[in-house]
Amino acid sequence: MAYLWRINCREIGTESDMWIFVLGHRIQRLADVAITPCPRHRQAWIGAAVLLVFGLGLPALRAQERGTPAIPPNGGLQVLSVSAYGVYYSTTLPSTGGFQPTNLGSDVGVGGSAQIGLTNSGQHSTFSFVYTPSYTGRIRYSSWDALNHNLSLNATRRLAARWNLGFSVSGDLSNFEGSLFSPTVLSNVASVSANFADLSAAMLGRSSTNAPLVSILNSAPLVESPARTLLYGERMLTSAAHTSLSYSYSRHFSIIFNAGAARSQHLGGSQNDQAQNLYLLPTTTSGNASLGISYSLSSRTQFGATVATSRVVSDLYDGYSTSSTASLGRTLGRRWFLQIHGGVGLMNPVQRTSVQPTGPHPVAGGSLGFRISSQTFLGSYDRTVSDSYGVGASTTSTSSATWRWNRPGGGWWLEGSFSWQQLQGVASQNLSSWRATASWGRRLGPRAALLTQYVYLNYSGRVENSPYSQSQSAMRVSVVWTRQPALPR
């Protein structure tokens, strides 16, 4: 997988499903056309991009706030939010696939995004769909211009008095910088407007009436690791589907069946983009299923037990993993909740490129949450057998935390988050990565806000006997408009 660095001026290339936003709240599809201007035309194109983005967003930028925009109930397909931003990168990392990346120096870019969605809810079913395209144009390194896409679909249906069915599909097509500022699941949860009772119920697996919280926690999970670029290269496609079926035997006792599938793959660029195309894994395909029980010991205490199995297939590893865990969740007072779980897991390799231990491994984890009127803190840790990427790790350790502060009725807010993951085993040899983010926001009106975000990303460890260590930081300043009065992310 060794490629020569080539950063050339390209005229007109091809890229499927190219979308741009134009003035007057219209969307025009330019099928199979992508234009990357030469440096001599660069300033004109950047200026045009800024005008296009602000032409879409400024007519409504007299009002707004924060958080993931709420979808109005039964509102039909609507533009939920629009943002325009400028971003600074401390270094440009065209590839980490060689584990000895070459820094190309700092760079700046401008871009914009929009969020389009619809929802439909009835007495026995709910449905929601959100699609988010975004585009960032680089000023110095035009080969890293990218149009990114993200979508999610969630549906629930009450089949009978005791039976409930859930289904979700998620997809993300983005480059490395598209993942830099993407919020974690806990960050999305912390931004939702919910009281402590709803938050603790959703996090502990009890029944919750807060639809946005339930939708976030039950969505098909996508690759969220900071190491995604190290594994799949500069640009990747990840998709997942998840379904659940639950039976409520009584008000206290439920049986839950879950099944899902996911696929992650590297996406190649043009011949002029070979510098971006170094990667460790071309594709990873996985499937999983679990059967669990949930029992409410009291209004504050929840007990559960789960047996889960999965299979992961890649060029480096093909095998099954099975785990059995028990969990205990408890609401502590009026502000805190805690959940812990533990058990044992086994690996059963079908095909492997190195020797992995097949004996039992301990699996454990937990989550902690705190909420008052102005602050929310959420944290989690999990240790599992194998890995979801197919690099041949024996165990995976993952940790995530987020903190959010905003005074009710106030005009500004603060947020910080941290995520870390380590793959341990013979093949992966302790691949490690972590990401820290901080953001500050200020309302400009009931539906408009100014948002400043900073992110720091670090890789370190050894893969295939090749040591690597690299870091990058970036800062983005955005002006955001939302249809619903909600603080933007």
Q: Is the dihedral of CA 186, 190, 196, 197 positive or negative?
A: negative
Q: How far apart are CA 339 and CA 365, in angstroms?
A: 8
Instruction: Check residue 270 and report its DSSP letter.
Output: -
Partners of residue 145 on adjacent β-strands: none
What is the structure's pLDDT at 164? 93
- 273 has pLDDT over 50: no
What integer is the mean pLDDT of 440-453?
A: 91
The answer to whether residue 157 scores a pLDDT higher than 70 is yes
Strands (E), 355-447: 361-371, 375-385, 395-406, 412-424, 431-443
What are the residue ranges of helices labelled H in 181-318?
Answer: 185-191, 196-203, 211-218, 228-232
What integer pLDDT is reported at residue 221 of this predicted model?
76
Q: Is the domain covering 12-480 a CATH 1.20.140 domain? A: no
Q: Which tokens hold the place of 327?
A: 């969990």
Do residues 424 and 396 lie in contact, with contact meaning Cβ atoms separated by under 8 Å?
A: yes
Q: Are 330 and 300 in contact (CB under 8 A)?
A: yes
Give residue 342's pLDDT: 96
pLDDT value for 290: 96
Residues 6+ apart with CB under 8 A from 248: 162, 163, 164, 254
Closest CA to 131 of 105, 157, 149: 149
pLDDT of residue 331: 93
**Span 47-87, pLDDT tens digits:** 334 333 333 333 333 333 333 444 555 567 899 999 999 99
Please tell me which residue, 22 or 420, carries the higher pLDDT value.
Answer: 420
d(CA 190, CA 170): 20
Query: CB-based burial of residue 80 (10 Å sphere; 0-12 exposed, 13-18 middle, 19+ buried)?
Result: buried
pLDDT digits (tens, 9 = 90+) for 1-49: 333 333 333 333 333 333 333 223 333 333 333 333 444 344 433 333 4
pLDDT at site 52: 36
Q: What mean pLDDT comes out for the span 127-149?
A: 87
pLDDT at 26: 32
Between 286 and 40, whose confidence is greater?
A: 286
Q: Within a 10 A sphere around the Cβ of 430, how many other Cβ atoms?
A: 13
- Of 199-213, 255-269, 402-416, least confident by mean pLDDT is 199-213
Task: Please check the confidence at residue 416 and state whether its pLDDT lies above 90.
Answer: yes
Q: Residue 465 has what pLDDT?
A: 62
Mean pLDDT of 454-458: 90
Of 169-178, 267-276, 398-407, the range with the highest mean pLDDT is 398-407
- Higher-pLDDT residue of 101, 210: 210
Write the pLDDT tens digit of every residue in 100-136.
555 567 889 999 999 999 988 888 888 989 999 999 9
Encode pLDDT of 292-342 as tens digits: 999 999 888 999 999 999 999 998 889 999 999 999 999 998 899 999 999
Residue with tokens 């002006």: 479
Given a cut of 80, is residue 445 above it in pLDDT?
A: yes
Q: What is the mean pLDDT of residues 156-176?
A: 91
